[in-house]
Every structure is written in structure tokens, then in C-alpha cells.
């Protein structure tokens, strides 16, 4: 197991790579968290010692069960606590006896309820843990995902490791983010859902990721912060080393109310957050889909410091809409240069004077030229920083020819990507599985071609607006970082 060789320079390593994990409140009831967390250790192939704790069971999921933490032989490094809140204080006493380093408190119904007794209990939990020198993750959170060691807080997350680190106050949001991102081929180094942040907070986790060699990009969901100055400084250090893409939850009145009842977080004025994000170069987005779109770019493209787009694919309406959306997203769509026009004329194009950028690829007479030569011209031209290729799914052909042309656009995109001379992103506007389920041949073709691009590592978007929005944010990130 990796944990034996990784230096525990930081306390979080005791949660990411523990030698032993106990699940307090382990269960065989598939609706309970005590079942889920035990099952995850098995499903994700955690190779250390697993101690299910349940006072009434002799075994659980094929593992020997212990009636208490103190009944476990030897020390325990990491405890996942799925107990109700009333049982947390005595559990911490047991943890102290077993030299537990860190406890993930899944336990909820504490500060977030706003009830005085629960708020007081939460405070007592914090003091008790401090007294024993035990670090806490949570309460009211999903805890740890670390595929390299086999720890997870959800079903259907990748078994393979990747280079994105996730720090999230919300477990559900991080689960959704990772499940959906994994369909895009993205993989994660580690994730921490930290809930009410009674112990380790957003800064502790960010600091871990800053120095973590396995993490190249940080995706974050914040609701509140404990210490504004430390947060600002930590973010500065983070963005100096790695891209940080973040959502701030609780921007409006109802959202701020919701953060209070979700994680007891004080949302704070959003303009302060925006200032902090802008100053530190954090890429701020508003929803999970935007995070995934940006992660795609960070994982598959080199840095891009300038915003000039060459856009190809589809007919005139698509070209016009693409140009408008690209400019609105802060990109430039420069006209074809005189040199390019001269080259097109020389190559025999009969529309060299008419063609533009975006390129209307419904010009069938120059079809071969457009699909083979024009991308190369853009690759060589200093006038364009990257290429966006829309599949021509608005072509007017019957199914067979339509499929041929759409595949041709995807082939082209993959070719440009593989040549690696200029960054390229693909757009496949396929609509959504609908009234005829997944039977529509065109929808199905686009879904298959989408998978193909993902397998090749090409960043692919469903809509031009998502593509240009993400590219605008991506370029601005690198421009900020350059300054």
C-alpha cells in the first residue's frame, strides 16, 4: 500500500493514506451511511486494515466487526464516524484511547440546524477533539475520496487516479461534479468534502493541494470562510502554483439562507468574494457544468495567452451565432488575413474572396480544401491562437451522408489535436435524448462521436456557447497568471 512509503508531512495524509480505517456505526443496511462507507472501502480496494464498529454485529460485509473502537487490537489511524450526534463525544474518548489521528464526522444535525443545543454540542465536540489532539473533518460532510489508497465517499466514482484535486463544502455537489466529469474522461487525485469545517477548513485543504505533487488543478466549492486574511493568502499561494476553479455558494439572499442551514456557513457579501477571486486569479464560475467545462480545458490544452479564435464547421447561421457568442465571451474572431486569401486562391478555391472566419463549411465546392488544407493554414498562421471545430451537424444530407460528414468533422478535429501544432476544441451539438429515447440515429451518432473524441483526449463541448465561454475563461486565466 502506498501509505507506507508516502511521508506524512501533513495530517491529511492520515485521512488520504491511513494504515487503518475504522467505520464507527458500520451497518449492513443499504440505506445507511454506515453501510455505504464500509462498502466503499471494499469497492475501491482499500488495502489497509478495515475495522467495522457496531455493538450488535460479529461481522459485516464479510469483515470481522468490533463492538467498540477500544475493542480493536492496536492503534487506529483514521475513523469515519457515521454515528448520530449524541454519540460523538464518547466516540472521541475512545478515539483518544486508540491514538486516532483524524476523524471524519459524517454526523450531521449540529451547527447547521441553528438549534442552541446542537450548536453547543458542536462546540463541545470541537473542544474535546482539541483536548485529545485529534483532527476533525466535518461534521456534516462526506469526507475523503482518494482512489490511490481506495477511500471513497460515493458510488460510481473513478477507481483510477487523476490530477484534479477537489475541495468542497458540499458532499453532494462534489459527488455530482466528479461523477459527471468522469463521463468526460476526467480523473481526480483526491477530494475532501468538509461541511461545517469545525476542524480542518478550506485553507487547510487548499494548503495540502498546493504542495501535493499528485494534484495539478484545484476545483473548489466554498460557502463561507473562517479567516478572510488567511483565505486570501492561501488562494494567492495556490493560484501562483496551480489553476483554481471555484464556485462560491450563497451569493444571493436565498442562497445565503441556504448556506446557513446547509453548513452553518456565513456566506458573506458576494462582492468581497469576487474581489478576492479576481485578485488571486481564481476562475470563478456559477455552476458545476462550468467547472467541468474548464477542467476539460485545463486537463487537455497547453497554456493559451491570447484570445484569437479560428472557428470552423457548419453553415452560415451557425457561423454567425458562433462569432457573436465568441465575442460576447471575450474572444476575438479575426477575419482571414490577406496572406490566407492569397493562399486559398493559389490552391484553387473559387471562393477565396468570400470565405470568412468563422468558416462556413457548407460551401461544398471547396469541401476538400476546407476539410484538409484550411486547418493546416490556421495551424501555421500567427493570426490565430486556437481552433474551434464545430461538427457540421446542420448539413442537409440524408442519414448516410450526414453521418459521413459529421464523422469527417470529428476526424478533422482529432487530426488537428494529434498534430499538436495549435490547441483545438470540438463542438458537437447533438440535442438531448428525448421523446424517442436514445433511438434517434442522428443523436446516437453524435453521442458516439462525442465518446470518440473524449477517448482521444480532445476537449469536446455540446454547444458553441459552452465552448467559447470556457475558452474565454481559460485564456483570461493564463493572461492573469502571466502578469
Find the binding residues for its own copies in span 26-65 (CB under 8 A). 30-31, 33, 36, 39
Distance CA 234, CA 83 (A): 33
- Indicate left, alpha or beta for 46 from its phi (over 0: left) and psi (-120 to 50: alpha): beta
Strand-pair category, 135-137 with 102-105: parallel
Q: What's the sign of the alpha-carbon dihedral 451, 457, 458, 459? A: positive
Alpha-carbon span 194 to 192, nearest angstrom: 6
Contact 155, 40 (CB under 8 A): yes
What are 468's three cell numbers?
A: 467559447
Locate 20 and state its grid cell.
487503518
Of 396 and 420, nearer to its own copies (C-beta) is 396
* Minimum CB distance to its own copies smaller for 95 or for 256: 256
Q: Which of 10, 14, 161, 179 binds its own copies (CB under 8 A)?
A: 179
If binding is defined by CB under 8 A, does position 368 make contact with its own copies?
A: no
Q: Tell me if 366 contacts its own copies by CB under 8 A.
A: no
Taking the CB of residue 393, how many other CB atoms lie within 10 A of it? 23
The rounded distance, in Å, linking the Cα atoms of 243 and 327 is 24
Q: Considering only residues 257, 278, 345, 419, which one is a binding residue for its own copies as defined by CB under 8 A?
A: 257
Residue 317 found at the interface with its own copies (CB under 8 A): yes
Q: Cell 457515521 maps to which residue? A: 82
Length of the chain: 483
Which of positions 433-462 make contact with its own copies (CB under 8 A)?
433-438, 440-443, 447-448, 450-451, 454-455, 462
Q: Are 393 and 430 in contact (CB under 8 A)?
A: yes
- The answer to whether residue 398 forms part of the interface with its own copies (CB under 8 A) is yes
CB 435 to its own copies: min, Å? 4
From 59, 156, 227, 275, residue interacting with its own copies (rule: CB under 8 A): 156
In the complex, the smallest distance separating the C-beta of residue 430 from its own copies, rounded to whole angstroms, is 8
Residue 456 phi/psi, 5-degree rounding, is -80, -5
The stretch among 52-60, 72-80, 86-94, 331-339 that binds its own copies (CB under 8 A) is 331-339
Pick from 11, 126, 176, 232: which binds its own copies (CB under 8 A)? Answer: 176
Cell numbers that stand for 291 in this block = 467547472
Q: Least distance to its own copies from the beta carbon of 324, Å?
A: 4
Site membership for its own copies, residue 250 (CB under 8 A): yes
Q: Which three cell numbers stand for residue 477?
A: 486565466
Q: Does residue 110 belong to the site contacting its own copies (CB under 8 A)?
A: no
Q: Out of 207, 214, 327, 379, point to the residue binding its own copies (CB under 8 A).
A: 327
Q: Which of 190, 262, 343, 422 binds its own copies (CB under 8 A)?
A: 262
Range in contact with its own copies (rule: CB under 8 A) among 94-102, 341-349, 375-383, 397-405: 397-405
Residues in a beta bridge with 425: 388
Amino acid at each position: 500500500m502506498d501509505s507506507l512509503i508516502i511521508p506524512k508531512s501533513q495530517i491529511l495524509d492520515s485521512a488520504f493514506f491511513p494504515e487503518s480505517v475504522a467505520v464507527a456505526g458500520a451497518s449492513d443496511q443499504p440505506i445507511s451511511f454506515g453501510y455505504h462507507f464500509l462498502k466503499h472501502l471494499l469497492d475501491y480496494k482499500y488495502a489497509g486494515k478495515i475495522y467495522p464498529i457496531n455493538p450488535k454485529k460479529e461481522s459485516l460485509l464479510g469483515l470481522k466487526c468490533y463492538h467498540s473502537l477500544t475493542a480493536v487490537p492496536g492503534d487506529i489511524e483514521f475513523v469515519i464516524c457515521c454515528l448520530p450526534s449524541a454519540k460523538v463525544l464518547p466516540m472521541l474518548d475512545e478515539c483518544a484511547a486508540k491514538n486516532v489521528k483524524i476523524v471524519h464526522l459524517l454526523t450531521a444535525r449540529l451547527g447547521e440546524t441553528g438549534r442552541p443545543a446542537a450548536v453547543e454540542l458542536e462546540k463541545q465536540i470541537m473542544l474535546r477533539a482539541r483536548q485529545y489532539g485529534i483532527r476533525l473533518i466535518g461534521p456534516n460532510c462526506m469526507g475523503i475520496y482518494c482512489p490511490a489508497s481506495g477511500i471513497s465517499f460515493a458510488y460510481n466514482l473513478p477507481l483510477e487516479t487523476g490530477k484534479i484535486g477537489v475541495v468542497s463544502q458540499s458532499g453532494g455537489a462534489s459527488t455530482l461534479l466528479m461523477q459527471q466529469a468522469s463521463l468526460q474522461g476526467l480523473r481526480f487525485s483526491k477530494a475532501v468534502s468538509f461541511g461545517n469545517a469545525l476542524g480542518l477548513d478550506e485553507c487547510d485543504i487548499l494548503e495540502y493541494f498546493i504542495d501535493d505533487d499528485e494534484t495539478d488543478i484545484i476545483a473548489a466549492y466554498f460557502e463561507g470562510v473562517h479567516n478572510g486574511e488567511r483565505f486570501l493568502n492561501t488562494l494567492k499561494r495556490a493560484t501562483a502554483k496551480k489553476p483554481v476553479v471555484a464556485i462560491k455558494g450563497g451569493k444571493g439572499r436565498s442562497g445565503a439562507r441556504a448556506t446557513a442551514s446547509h453548513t452553518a456557513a456565513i456566506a458573506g457579501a458576494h462582492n468581497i468574494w469576487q474581489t478576492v477571486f479576481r485578485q488571486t486569479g481564481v476562475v470563478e464560475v456559477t455552476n458545476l457544468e462550468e467547472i467541468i467545462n474548464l477542467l476539460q480545458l485545463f486537463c487537455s490544452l497547453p497554456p493559451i495567452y491570447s484570445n484569437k479564435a479560428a472557428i470552423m464547421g457548419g453553415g452560415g447561421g451557425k457561423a454567425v451565432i458562433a462569432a457573436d457568442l465568441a465575442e460576447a465571451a471575450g474572444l476575438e474572431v479575426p477575419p482571414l488575413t490577406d496572406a490566407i486569401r492569397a493562399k486559398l486562391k493559389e490552391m484553387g478555391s473559387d471562393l477565396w474572396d468570400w470565405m470568412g472566419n468563422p468558416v462556413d463549411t457548407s460551401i461544398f465546392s471547396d469541401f476538400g480544401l476546407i476539410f484538409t488544407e484550411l486547418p493546416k493554414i490556421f495551424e501555421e498562421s500567427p493570426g490565430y491562437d486556437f481552433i474551434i471545430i464545430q461538427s457540421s451537424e446542420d448539413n442537409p444530407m440524408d442519414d448516410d451522408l450526414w453521418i459521413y460528414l459529421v464523422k469527417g468533422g470529428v476526424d478533422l478535429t482529432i487530426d488537428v489535436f494529434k498534430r499538436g501544432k495549435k490547441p483545438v476544441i470540438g463542438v458537437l451539438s447533438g440535442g438531448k435524448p428525448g421523446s424517442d429515447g436514445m433511438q434517434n440515429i442522428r443523436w446516437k451518432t453524435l453521442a458516439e462521436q462525442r465518446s470518440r473524441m473524449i477517448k482521444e483526449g480532445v476537449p469536446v463541448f455540446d454547444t458553441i456557447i459552452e465552448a467559447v465561454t470556457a475558452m474565454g475563461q481559460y485564456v483570461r486565466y493564463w493572461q492573469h497568471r502571466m502578469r
